[in-house]
């Protein structure tokens, strides 16, 4: 029997589902604590967030908490895997105004951010905003913690990004898809959906990706939206089950989408 709990956390709708009837209360406590810890580490909208110490350092190494170190590592990994499409650098600091003069020296990129254990060094003039990848990492970590500590099957979802861990319920995790339809999400897999938005110039209106973890699923969605015609080839290159809606409402799927367990 699957039990559910829903609440708002870090500006998102959080959904928790567990396969053991008596595990829900403890599972919710675990997930809430992890969401709170992650938000305190890197939510730039919070004045007391730890990430501000990194952004204010301006070229000076900073010792950070183990949790922020993990979140930064995930963000840098996503940046490398997507060729910088998922960028941990704040857009306000990495983008030039149209009328500004090109700098003599190249602008810093995510490749210039150094992370050694729990010591972070960012170039002068750089600010980090890792909120998107941090939320996905939080989903992964929360699902793994519940499955490990309570020995039950679990699904954790924040917004449109989710991860499962532990044993599947009878019939599997049946997930409703945006725009209609369902997909069975295997245990130990993750799924994310991103939309382009009304004002975005993208061939794709919506992208859903299944991957081994939520960080990769979310990063792949963001990359597919930016890659236009090259999105399908890029997704196929990594063997990712994906469903894409184009601007005319037509559905396109990768070869592995028909068999999501391939994730």
Q: Start-end ranges of CATH 3.10.520.10 in the chain? A: 1-170, 172-263
Enter the pTM of the model: 0.91
* Averaged pLDDT, 176-185: 88
Q: How far apart are CA 106 and CA 260, in angstroms?
A: 42
98-123 per-position pLDDT tens digit = 455 555 567 899 999 999 999 999 99
Q: How far apart are CA 102 and CA 98, in angstroms?
A: 10
Q: Is 10 helix (H, G, I), strand (E, B) or coil?
A: coil
Whether pLDDT at 196 is above 60: yes
Task: Kindly report the CATH number that applies to the domain delimited by 1-170.
Answer: 3.10.520.10
Whether pLDDT at 40 is above 60: yes
Extract the tokens encoding 119: 């010591």
Task: State the pLDDT at residue 18.
Answer: 97
Q: Which of 40-54, 144-158, 227-241, 249-263 has the lowest mean pLDDT?
A: 249-263
> Across the chain, what does the average pLDDT equal?
91
Q: Does domain 172-263 have CATH number 3.10.520.10?
A: yes
218 close to 136: Cβ distance less than 8 angstroms: yes
Q: How far apart are CA 131 and CA 243, in angstroms?
A: 24
Rg of the chain, C-alpha, whole Å: 19
Compute the residue count for the chain.
263
* Residue-by-residue DSSP string for 216-238: HHHHHHHHHHHHGGGHHHHHHHT
Give the confidence band of 180 by pLDDT, cuts at 50, 70, 90.
Answer: confident
């Amino acid at each position: 029997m699957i039990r559910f709990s829903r609440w708002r956390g870090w500006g998102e709708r959080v959904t928790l589902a567990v396969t053991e009837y008596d595990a829900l209360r403890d599972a919710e406590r675990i997930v809430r604590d992890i969401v709170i810890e992650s938000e305190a580490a890197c939510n730039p909208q919070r004045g007391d967030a730890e990430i501000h110490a990194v952004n204010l350092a301006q070229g000076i190494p900073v010792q950070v908490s183990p949790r922020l170190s993990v979140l930064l590592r995930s963000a840098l990994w996503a940046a490398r895997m997507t060729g910088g499409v998922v960028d941990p650098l704040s857009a306000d600091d990495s983008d030039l105004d149209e009328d500004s003069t090109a700098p003599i020296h190249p602008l810093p990129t995510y490749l210039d951010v150094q992370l050694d254990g729990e010591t972070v060094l960012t170039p002068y003039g750089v600010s980090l905003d890792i909120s998107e990848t941090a939320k996905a990492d939080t989903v992964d970590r929360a699902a793994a913690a519940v499955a490990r500590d309570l020995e039950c099957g679990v699904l954790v979802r924040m917004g449109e990004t989710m991860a499962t861990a532990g044993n599947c319920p009878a019939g599997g995790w049946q997930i409703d898809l945006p725009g209609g339809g369902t997909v069975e999400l295997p245990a130990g897999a993750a799924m994310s959906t991103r939309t382009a938005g009304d004002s975005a110039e993208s061939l794709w209106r919506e992208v859903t990706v299944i991957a081994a973890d939520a960080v990769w699923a979310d990063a792949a969605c963001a990359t597919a939206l930016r890659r236009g015609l090259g999105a399908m080839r890029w997704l196929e290159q990594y063997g990712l089950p994906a469903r894409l809606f184009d601007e005319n409402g037509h559905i396109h799927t990768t070869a592995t989408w028909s068999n999501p367990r391939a994730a």
